[in-house]
């Protein structure tokens, strides 16, 4: 019986630290992604507003050269690379423990 109680206590300690670690990682990933998304949207809106201030003939040439698609592709690649780095990163390596040794 004492062995079973010891195993239950150990299991609860391990599960508590894993759940805490997972919640902490999810929270940090969400905040990082949201900040990155907001920054990219702000930069993209700034580029669109500056391009709209150009001469219409220049805008037509840029549209013919597909510069808008190239800019969108660059921003998409940057966001995808950041997302992959966040998903596979080892930013949290310390387990969250509740008391004990």
Q: Is residue 95 part of a domain?
A: no
Q: Is residue 75 part of a domain?
A: yes
Q: Note the pLDDT of residue 97.
A: 55
What tens-digit pLDDT sequence spans the chain (101 residues)?
Answer: 677 777 777 666 766 666 666 766 666 667 777 888 888 889 989 988 998 899 999 999 999 999 989 998 998 888 888 777 777 655 544 545 565 54
Q: What's the DSSP call for residue 54? A: S
Q: Note the pLDDT of residue 52.
A: 85
Question: Domains in the chain: how many in total?
Answer: 1
Q: Note the pLDDT of residue 30.
A: 73
Q: Note the pLDDT of residue 5.
A: 72
Q: Is residue 71 part of a domain?
A: yes
Q: Note the pLDDT of residue 81.
A: 83
d(CA 8, CA 14): 10
* Owning domain of residue 68: 2-88
């Amino acid at each position: 019986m004492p062995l079973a109680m010891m195993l239950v206590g150990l299991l609860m300690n391990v599960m508590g630290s894993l759940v805490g670690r997972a919640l902490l990682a999810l929270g940090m990933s969400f905040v990082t992604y949201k900040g990155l998304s907001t920054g990219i949207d702000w930069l993209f809106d700034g580029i669109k507003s500056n391009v709209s201030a150009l001469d219409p003939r220049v805008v037509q040439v840029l549209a013919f050269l597909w510069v808008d698609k190239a800019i969108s592709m660059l921003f998409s690649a940057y966001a995808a690379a950041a997302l992959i780095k966040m998903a596979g990163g080892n930013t949290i390596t310390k387990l969250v423990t509740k008391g004990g040794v």
